[in-house]
Amino acid sequence: MNNSKKYFSKDNFSQEKIIKEIIERINILRIMGVTDCIIKQVVSKNLEIPKLSKLVITEDFRIFLADYNNMEIKINVLPKVLYFFFLNHPEGILFKEIKDYHKELLNIYMIISRREDLAKMEQSIIDITDCSKNSINEKCSRIKSAFLKQFSMDFAQHYYISGNCGKPKRILLDRNLVINQSELKICKN
């Protein structure tokens, strides 16, 4: 009797059933968008449910997820301004009130962009804070896309800007998981 027949003997029918169920559930996870990397982590010898990673902001304003092999999340400068702004406001901000934060957004932009054309920077921030334009939604979409390229929605949703219509938008990530090595001010929860 070979090993597979011995393993799946009538005495071990429940084992076969459990293995088939695990395979089915793994396939469901894949359909839901959970990456093979995370599935392997769950099934590995540790058998731990993957945890959210620490988000590291480096001195040069790059974004890394430390616990996911220092995976870099690449976001262009203007969406990154908005991202850092929302990291600094764990309570969330209504989009219609973002114009009240024009100075803070411009300050972040001046720090991280290294651009010298203040008039163009000012106009970019005016565009983001103008609710009649779609600029803020475009930037939020780019941020969301950057995280969804790396993760399923289950994990990514903790890292990007989200919120129901008419409610404050915020980043769900616990600020205790944010490691800020930059000169930017990032609030804790």
**pLDDT score, position 146:** 96
137 is written with which tokens?
């939604």
Beta bridge partners of 162: 170
**pLDDT score, position 12:** 54
Length of the chain: 189
Read off the pTM. Answer: 0.74
**pLDDT score, position 167:** 94
Where does 55-180 sit in CATH, by number? 1.10.10
**pLDDT score, position 116:** 82
Phi, psi values for residue 11, rounded to 5°: -65, -25
pLDDT tens digit string along 74-92?
A: 999 999 999 999 999 999 9
Task: In whole angstroms, give the CA distance from residue 37 to residue 10.
Answer: 34
In sequence order, what are the residues at sequence separation of 6 or more whose Cβ sits closer than 8 angstroms to the Cβ of residue 137?
none
Distance of alpha carbon 43 from the chain centroid: 23
Estimate the crossing angle of helix 118-129 against helix 135-148, to 10 degrees: 90
29 is written with which tokens?
């996870």
Pairing mode, if any, of strands 178-180 and 55-57?
A: parallel
- Where b means 16+ CB within 10 Å and e means fewer, 51-79 reads eebebbbeeebebbbeebeeeebebeebb
**pLDDT score, position 108:** 95
**pLDDT score, position 104:** 96
- CATH 1.10.10 region(s) of the chain? 55-180
**pLDDT score, position 17:** 80
**pLDDT score, position 46:** 57
Among residues 84, 86, 76, the alpha carbon closest in space to that of 182 is found at 84
List the chain residues with pLDDT less than 70: 1-13, 15, 44-50, 189
Distance of alpha carbon 21 from the chain centroid: 30
Task: In whole angstroms, give the CA distance from residue 87 to residue 126.
Answer: 20
